[in-house]
Structure 1
Amino acid sequence: MSQRRLPALDHKHTPAAPYSNHRDAAHALQEVAISLIDSGLRILQSDILTDEQLQHESVLIPGGSLGKHFRHVTEMFDAFLLPLSTTTTAGGPLVIDYDAELPRSRHLTARSVSHARQAMEGVRTGLAALGNVGDLASLLGGEVEVVALTPSRQELNSTLGRELWFCSLHAIHHYTMIRTIAVHELGLSLSPDFGTAPATLLYRSRPSEPADKVWAKL
């Protein structure tokens, strides 16, 4: 009896969704990522207003704080955006290293509301600028090498689009923990959609509701 062939793990060979062309799909990835950053900025501007709130050491999630989770979100997006700068792309392939050693100044993001806002705004600027380099679909479809420590060094082939989606899902993961600390420990009232995956929002939305209205809820 022949064995059933498993689907390829290489996402680049996965058929595109029939309801979306490559250009629309690329812009959707960008818009979701920006919407996620905007949702984090909103609570940093209207709910989390003091450094004490940001630094509060969580009881429910030991070792965590609102600031540390915001820092992790910005660091991951910064690692994604770094190889797209002109200073790092010249003369070599695009390489994303999520485990690269970072300057100690990054700790300010976890300790200061103003620095957390600046870090998030910097990420938003970088994401918005993706469309300025040419065709966004071609850019996000481009191959990239991801370096990982497991703890041995691994080099994995991916695409920029896949890594942008990974960063977005990573942000949702940390937003869920931010929500837990903010609501259940600090007594803050956040939007019920904060920290919810886009697919879940689509499932909850009315069939007639435009997708751009759904992204705006993030």
Structure 2
Amino acid sequence: MQAECKQNLNQLSLLLESLSPQQYNYKSELLSGSSIGQHIRHIIEFYTCLSESFYLQLTQINYDKRERDKSIEQDAQKAILTINKLIDFLNEERVVGKADLVANFSLEDDHDCIIPSSYRRELAYCLEHSIHHQALIKISLLDQGLVHLVDDNFGVAPSTTKACQTKEVR
């Protein structure tokens, strides 16, 4: 799972290296005014929350209470540096062990759910979460005429890519 997460983060870093500050901060009407930078920040924050929980040997992971760093959404170079730190974490550590996911799924009250999980399961969640946001980033790239900067599988789950390839072969 760590290799797949590193591959995903490297894919994001390569994209960021090819964007100008204006492209990174472009607020797409197709995405309710959100920017690529905002989606990148959101992806990074989830991976960071997980890595910090692991380093601190916490038994609970709570993405709702993650730190939010607006500078990452405004500065692609800072995002790249943070991605590199996350890749270093994934290279250094064998991310295993049990942990509970703590989350509040209600709009009406502050009732936290505690769901048994593991660090590897949460890595899988971070990867799926990233792919989802990459699909949204791809919309902004299309809106800006920049979709050529990513391949066709950017923002597409590997299982979907494989299923589509199988259908084409038949």
Question: Aligning the two structures, in what range does the TM-score lie when normalised by the shorter sequence?
Answer: 0.7 to 0.9
Is the Cα contact below 8 Å between 2:28 and 2:34 reproduced in 1?
yes
In percent, how many aligned pairs have the same letter?
A: 23
RMSD: 1.7
**Which structure: greater helix fraction?**
2
TM-score by length of 1: 0.68
Matching residue of 1:40: 12
Query: 2:88 aligns to what?
Result: 125
Q: Which runs of at least 4 in structure 1 moved beyond 6 Å after TM superposition?
A: none
Q: CA deviation at 1:115?
A: 1.0
- Relative to the length of structure 2, the TM-score reads 0.86
Q: Is the 8 A contact 2:45 2:66 kept in 1?
A: no
Q: Distance in 1 between matches of 2:30 and 2:138?
A: 11
Q: Match of 2:157, as an amino acid? A: A
CA–CA distance in 2 between the matches of 1:191 and 1:149? 35
Structure 2 residue 166 is matched with structure 1 residue 196: no
CA–CA separation in structure 2 for the residues paired with 1:127 and 1:101: 19
Asked which structure has the greater CA Rg, the reply is 1
Q: Quick one: which amino acid aligns to residue 2 of structure 2?
A: Q
Q: What amino acid maps onto 1:196 in structure 2?
A: V
What whole-Å deviation, never above 9, does each CA across 1:125-151 have from its counterpart, x for those lacking one? Answer: 1122223xxxx6xx2xx2201111233
Structure 1 runs not aligned, ≥5 long: 1-28, 207-218
SS at match of 2:79: helix
Superposition pairs of residues 46-57 of structure 1, within 5 angstroms: 47-48=18-19, 50-57=20-27
The count of aligned residue pairs is: 160
Asked whether the equivalents of residues 46 and 66 of structure 2 are also in contact (C-alpha less than 8 Å), the reply is: no
